[in-house]
Amino acid sequence: MRDIDKMEEMINEYDERYQLMLDRVTDISQENILPEPYGRYFAEVATFIRDVMEVYEQASQRLLVNDCDNKCKKYHDKFFGRLMTENYEDSFLNPTYSVSVMGKDMGQIMSALYADIMSLISAAYEQRMDYICVWSELFVQVYGCFLQELEEKETLEEEDFQWIYKNVKDAMYWFYHDYTEIFVADNVRAYIDTEYDFMYDMIMFSDLSNNNYLYRYGLPIGVNETGIADYLRKLPQEEIDAMAATYTNGYRKGFEVTGRDLSKKKTVKIEAPVGFERVVRAAIKQFKEMGLHATFNREPSSSITGRGSKRGIYSTSVNPQFDYDHKDDKAIYFDKSYVERRLEVLKDVYEKNKDKAAVYGGPAVIEVFGQVPFSPKSKAENIAFTDKQNSLSVYFASEGGQIVNQYIPGEEYSFTIIAYPLPEIGDKFEEIFAKTVEINNLDYELYEKVQAKIIDVLDQGEYAHVTGRNGNHTDIYVHLHELPNPDEQTIFENCVADVNIPVGEVFTSPVLEGTRGVLHVKQVYLMEYNYKDLEFVFEDGCVKSYSCANFESEEENKKYIFDNILHKHETLPIGEFAIGTNTIAYKMGRDFEIQDKLPILIAEKTGPHFAVGDTCYSHAEDVAVYNQNGKEIIARENTFSLKRHEDMSQAYFNCHTDITIPYDELGDITVLTADGRELPIIKDGRFVVPGTEVLNEVLD
């Protein structure tokens, strides 16, 4: 935090508590008075906390800024090495192992506690004494639950552990309830308040001539982070500036094309992977020229902030299975009381910072791709939400979304997203990176003209009929909005490279009633998870049934989709139907054999895609949007978003996941008119509308 007075105030408030915890945690690491495996567990976690405190003390004395001895890397390897696959299997961080030695209830909750305490790594580097104190106090309190029972008896029996478990769970529940005020407030202020500047200082003032600085983030650093930094270090400054300009100009264009006033905004939240500091540094300067100060939040690292979500300043996971194993740990404390408390805090922090929220412009995001597609193992030992908690999660997302939209109205802010490959993508990383830069800078005027010809055909339709081929059994009818005035209105948006980079799609919000059929893809990579034979059946535009082939049992497959695509909703509507036109991006994926590694951002441009969830115009349906030819795009909502006028909680789902059919699995896209005509857009995976032949050149 930039405000020195606030830092001193925090230290004064927590210093005595910190010293008490330092002494107590040190003692616990050496006591070893509890029976196995608990003695080993507490010694291990206490030693971890003590090591974190050591980093905190060195960071507070600025002894790690010029880290000539690579201390930070040594700490990094010590901290994150426990997540490496070879160490994780027999670690208390692994719920399967913890349950095997402690039993189900105790094993789950103790593993979850350890996983959340891992968030102290970043707290140490950010010099958050308050975080270190409160997590250490929880740990000591949990330890005390065991000691209290042991003091009364010489040995602990099974029924004693049941009593201990109850006390541990109570301690954890009230911890998350009581400290929501800190964690939620900090998470919000980080991206609307310029005083939260740890990441800003890291990016703007670190010595980028070597990789030592990477280890001061307190995040996992691997071959992707060091490889990206090494590669970007070799590029001339003009290339770095050009990459940043593609990104920042896209952000500016997002305001221009929607008629929103950028001059009213003062902050932009940058989300980017560790290793991209040269590009982000250039972007910060370019945003400053637009009158915007860059803000940052870090990758969530605890259950309360949404661990596993690659948002903010983030790095690739040491072990994605760890994130998956602990994704529902908040089920320990997630009840109606907690949710209402969290919503109350969310409302309060926005109200106290409403002036800062009003000038927040939205996120500018750099995504990455290239990781080996991850198919998680489904484990019975993992904590899982109950049906009641699933419903509560949907309620929380809805209510939270409404609060955010009250202070940061959707019709007043914008965003931009761009993606680049990681070294993990393979030996041709540098070639793929250069090709991606080329794709991100394609001639948008060419695509605008070609896509306008496609829209002219689509605007004549009542339905669009999409079919698959080569083993893809997609067969779906999309009901299109009626077009009262074709001379001045259109159904589809002509999307070129502004907020959504690269160029290459036309999209609409379908009429749900009458939209029906099967959507199928043989393999797709969504939100870092791999799906095999993913299939949805739609009726009146909503998911009727779904399946995939990742796991042996149908139950596991359905839960996988329910958790990660439906986001715990019983059903979702089709919020978007689009036709991707970026055949060059498709060819890149095919030529380099990386189709399964392309991110949604690029993959959605490589074929028709359907998004389940909210429309692209979510919370901004009443803002008029126009294509480059001056026609207003009228298909901005559906029967769900219309409910916002009566009940906002019924209007939005707070999710939007694109599922793309690649050209080699695509059969036909045919426009069906009300008077019985059939107008082809694509036949056998090739564009057939006159004037679109250029799109086929790289496919043939």
**What is the Cα–Cα distance from 502 to 291, expressed in whole angstroms?**
25
Does residue 689 sit in the same domain as residue 580?
A: yes
Structural domain ending residue among the three candidates 109, 144, 178 = 178
479 half-sphere exposure, CB direction, 13 A CA radius: 18
Q: What integer pLDDT is reported at residue 153 of this predicted model?
A: 72
At 270 the three-state DSSP class reads: strand
50 & 122 share domain: yes
- Domain assignment present for residue 51? The answer is yes
Q: Point out the domain boundary residue: 123, 149, 178.
A: 178
8 Å CB contact between 387 and 562: no
On whether both 520 and 651 belong to a single domain, the answer is: yes
Does 5 score more than 70 pLDDT?
Answer: no
Higher pLDDT, 404 or 496: 404
Using one digit for the tens of pLDDT, what is the confidence trace for 591-626? 999 988 888 889 889 889 999 999 988 888 888 889
Structure tokens at 198: 């740890």
Hunting for tokens 């995001």 — which residue is that? 365
With respect to residue 303, please indicate whether it lies within any of the assigned structural domains: yes
At 496-525, the pLDDT tens digits run 867 889 999 999 999 999 999 999 999 898
Looking at residue 8, its pLDDT comes to 67
The answer to the question of residue 317 being in a domain is yes
- SS3 of residue 162 by DSSP: helix
- 317's CB contacts (< 8 A; 6+ apart) are 220, 308, 323
- The span from the CA of 383 to the CA of 380, in Å, is 8
Smallest CA-to-CA distance from 40 within 197, 146, 195, 193 is with: 146
The C-alpha angle 554, 331, 573, rounded to 5 degrees, equals 55
Residues in the chain: 700
143 and 230 together in one domain: no
Spell out where 540-650 has E strands.
Answer: 542-547, 574-580, 608-613, 632-633
Q: How confident is the model at residue 529 (pLDDT cuts 50, 70, 90)?
A: confident
97 and 14 within one domain: yes
pLDDT at 498: 73
- At residue 236, the pLDDT reads 97
Tokens of 252: 């500016």
> What's residue 1's pLDDT?
44
**Taking all residues of the chain, what is their mean pLDDT, rounded to a whole number?**
93
For residue range 445-495, what is the model confidence (pLDDT) as tens digits?
899 999 999 999 999 999 999 999 999 999 999 999 999 999 999 999 998
Task: State the pLDDT at residue 122.
Answer: 95
Tell me: do 291 and 265 sit in the same domain. Answer: yes
Q: Are residues 522 and 468 in the same domain?
A: yes
Total domains present in the chain: 3
3-class DSSP assignment, residue 458: helix
| Structure confidence at residue 645 (pLDDT) | 85
Partners of 505 in beta bridges: 495, 580
Average pLDDT over residues 420-431: 96
The predicted-structure confidence for 351-372, as pLDDT tens digits, reads as follows 999 999 999 999 999 999 999 8
**3-state secondary structure at position 514:** strand
Domain membership of residue 242 (yes or no) is yes
Let me know whether 512 and 615 are in one domain. yes
Going 587 to 592 to 593 to 595, the CA torsion angle's sign is negative
Which residues fall within 8 angstroms of residue 289, CB to CB, at 6 or more apart?
A: none
Full-model pTM: 0.90
Residue at 246 is within a domain: yes
Shared-domain flag, residues 400 and 498: no
What are the φ and ψ backbone dihedral angles of 610, each rounded to 5 degrees? -125, 135
pLDDT at 404 over 80: yes
Percentage of the chain surpassing pLDDT 90? 80
Domain-ending residue, one of 360, 382, 416: 416
554 and 603 assigned to the same domain: yes
- What is the per-residue DSSP string for 66-126? T-TT-HHHHHHHHHHGGGSHHHHTTSTTSHHHHHHHH-HHHHHHHHHHHHHHTTHHHHHHT
> Listing from the earlier edge strand, what are the strands of the sheet with 511-526?
542-547, 529-539, 511-526, 475-479, 463-468, 666-672, 678-683, 686-687
Residues 463 and 397 in one domain: no
Rounded to whole angstroms, the Cα distance separating 190 from 412 reads: 20
Strands 475-479 and 678-683: unpaired
- First-last CA distance in the chain: 56
Domain membership of residue 164 as a residue range: 4-178
Q: Is the pLDDT of residue 156 over 80?
A: no
Kindly state the average pLDDT of the residues 633-652.
Answer: 90
Cis bond leading into 502, ω under 30°? yes
Side-chain-side CA neighbours of residue 323 (13 Å):
24
**Per the domain annotation, does 425 fall within a domain?**
no
Flag whether 427 is in a domain. Answer: no
Task: Provide mean pLDDT across the span 88-101.
Answer: 97
Based on the fold, state whether residues 561 and 644 are members of the same structural domain.
Answer: yes
At 460 the pLDDT is 97
The more confidently predicted of residues 413 and 266 is 266
Tell me how far the alpha carbon of residue 409 is from its chain's centroid.
21
What value, to the nearest 5°, has the Cα angle with vertex 322 and ends 319 and 326? 155
In a domain, 297, yes or no: yes
Report the alpha-carbon distance of residue 217 to residue 313 in Å, rounded: 9
